[in-house]
Amino acid sequence: MSSIPVQPVIMAGGSGTRLWPLSRAQHPKQFLVLQGNRSLFQQAAARLSDLRCDDIDIAAPCVVGNEEHRFLVLDQLRELKGVPEATVVLEPMGRNTAPAMTLAALLATAKGGDPVLVVTPADQTVTDEQAFTQALQQAVRIAATGAIAILGVTPDRPETGFGYIRAAAAAGSEAASRVAQFVEKPDLATAQRYLAGGDYYWNSGMFVVRASVWLKALETFRPDIATATRAAWQTRTLDASFVRPGRAEFTAIPSESVDYAVMEKCPGSAFDIRMVPLAAGWSDLGAWDAVWQVSEKDAAGNACAGDTFVRDSRNTLVHATSRLVGVLGLADVVVVETPDAVLVADRSRSQDVKHIVSHLDGQGRSEHTLHRQVHRPWGWYDSIDSGSRFQVKRIMVKPGASLSLQKHHHRAEHWIVVCGTAEVTNGDQVILLTENQSTYIPVGTVHRLANPGKVPLEIIEVQSGSYLGEDDIVRYEDTYGRVR
């Protein structure tokens, strides 16, 4: 008996605005470690690799993500053991999930094959890995026959933050049911009715379908998206790590979700769509209330992470990142601390955190985009102090990595090595610096910082000058394709 070929697809392009201030546009929730020692993205990749069994063969994963997150994707995949090297398809801008899934289908069929796509968001969590694997394996076998299989989560509360699937009949724990209807996020009374009815399930956003079936369904229901995405795929470029669809062509693709473009149109059509029930402690962690739901709690229902002190409080989430956070006499509240922003909210209003992000964006502020610690392909920097005409940064450079060869028109820099070995290009000189040694980079001098060693390099950088913005950089050479 031949095995069913499966192409795992991880959708990693979300922004996670409702988990602000921990989730930011350039470091969104799928790349955060909210529990244990793996990010949500890493958990998704590991779960999909576990699908392999006697009748299911798993290919290396395909990750569809944002151009801005490309090095986060590579770094986090490298940290995983046992997951083969992924193909990373980069979207030059967000166009929602239907084009993203289509890019994965075109990649999967590029060499003449027709594998089953197992498509999952990168920002979900489950508590029962075995139940999750069994449900997805069942969905793969259904999809291999030509049907579309989706995973519907058995609800345990009247949730208003999820879309729902109405099954043609209530599915048992093992049985798959035909999908009768997709419904939008309900109000509380409607959600309570759905829960009592027994035939409504949360829409998990996980889809299992042969690549050819997906492409045919898209061409049937949204030929404009199919045509535009094919045009972007045909003009793709390749490098060692990434597949890049044509930017101009991708811009012309209509933005639409998988659900709106195809899935909601399938019930009653020529496309057979089935729902596999999932009871695996699933959560999409779409808001802080969902994080509280899945977190370990004390006897009073409080969930804490980081350096916290909680007293006379109940059903409260406290997440501390960089300092002690004390909470006294609170109930049903979310407190999230980061070095540059703090959120305090009624837990029932978690979905509304996105409005704070919209306000920050409208005000032209950076707190919705960047953390104080900013990740770069070579490492990270943390802006630890600043004032008129000066800024202090802590910089970490990975072993073997280097910053671009660059200069600044408006600032000078002092570098002090804290640990590791620094190779410094300073004008015509190339020198090695070790712990407690320092150098000075005058305004306008071409320079570069590199780590030739085997351990991370950390330095303190003191900038001084009339303008200290990150855009005061002229790059001459760059390992990461950022020369301008």
On whether residue 162 sits in a domain, the answer given is yes
Domain final residue, candidates 313, 332, 362: 362
What gap in Å lies between CA 295 and CA 285, rounded to an integer?
Answer: 11
On whether residue 83 sits in a domain, the answer given is yes
pTM over 0.75: yes
Confidence (pLDDT) at 328: 98
Same structural domain, 159 and 298: no
Sort strands 177-183 and 164-167 into parallel, antiparallel or unpaired.
antiparallel
pLDDT > 60? residue 170: no
Q: Return the CATH number at 136.
A: 3.90.550.10
Q: What is the pLDDT of residues 65-119, one digit of tens each?
A: 998 888 889 889 988 887 878 899 999 988 999 999 999 999 999 989 999 999 9
Q: Which two tokens stand for residue 92?
A: 């030059």
- Please give the tally of structural domains in the chain: 3
Confidence (pLDDT) at 87: 92
Same structural domain, 240 and 131: yes
On whether residue 368 sits in a domain, the answer given is no
Confidence (pLDDT) at 257: 93
What gap in Å lies between CA 410 and CA 413, rounded to an integer?
Answer: 10
Confidence (pLDDT) at 57: 94
On whether residue 352 sits in a domain, the answer given is yes
Report DSSP letters for 104-168, one per residue.
Answer: HHHHHTTTS--PEEEEEESS-B-S-HHHHHHHHHHHHHHHHTT-EEEEEEPPSS--SSS-EEEES
Task: Judge contact between 167 and 83, C-beta under 8 A.
Answer: no
Domain final residue, candidates 238, 254, 278: 278
What is the separation, in whole angstroms, between the first and last Cα of the chain?
55
Same structural domain, 205 and 318: no
Q: What is the pLDDT of residues 397-443, one digit of tens each?
A: 999 999 999 999 999 999 999 999 999 999 999 999 999 999 999 99
pLDDT > 80? residue 1: no
What gap in Å lies between CA 203 and CA 284, rounded to an integer?
Answer: 10
Q: Which two tokens stand for residue 73?
A: 């994707």
Confidence (pLDDT) at 233: 97
Same structural domain, 344 and 250: no
Same structural domain, 334 and 429: no
Sort strands 200-210 and 116-121 into parallel, antiparallel or unpaired.
antiparallel
Same structural domain, 121 and 236: yes
Q: How many CB atoms lie within 10 A of CB 360?
A: 18
Confidence (pLDDT) at 375: 86
pLDDT > 60? residue 173: no
**C-alpha distances out from residue 438 to 412, 441, 445, Å:** 14, 10, 16
In the block, residue with structure tokens 């004032």: 387
Q: What is the pLDDT of residues 284-322, one digit of tens each?
A: 888 999 999 989 999 999 999 999 999 999 999 999 999
pLDDT > 60? residue 172: no
Among 18-22, 196-200, 322-326, name the one with the lowest average pLDDT: 196-200
Q: Return the CATH number at 381.
A: 2.60.120.10
On whether residue 184 sits in a domain, the answer given is yes
231 or 479, greater pLDDT: 231
Sort strands 373-376 and 333-338 into parallel, antiparallel or unpaired.
unpaired
Task: Judge contact between 91 and 82, C-beta under 8 A.
Answer: no
What gap in Å lies between CA 319 and CA 368, rounded to an integer?
Answer: 18
Q: What is the pLDDT of residues 379-396, one digit of tens each?
A: 999 999 999 999 999 999
Name the strand (E) or helix (H) holding 359: helix 353-362
What gap in Å lies between CA 319 and CA 337, rounded to an integer?
Answer: 6
Task: Judge contact between 259 and 182, C-beta under 8 A.
Answer: yes
Q: What is the pLDDT of residues 3-48, one digit of tens each?
A: 999 999 999 988 788 999 999 988 899 999 887 789 999 999 999 9
Confidence (pLDDT) at 484: 45
Same structural domain, 120 and 65: yes
Same structural domain, 251 and 345: no
Sort strands 379-387 and 273-278 into parallel, antiparallel or unpaired.
unpaired
In which domain, by residue range, is 357 found? 288-362
Same structural domain, 24 and 158: yes
Q: What is the pLDDT of residues 469-484, one digit of tens each?
A: 888 999 988 777 665 4
pLDDT > 90? residue 197: no
Confidence (pLDDT) at 471: 87
Q: What is the pLDDT of residues 246-260, one digit of tens each?
A: 999 999 999 999 999
Same structural domain, 391 and 269: no
Beta bridge partners, 318, equal 304, 335
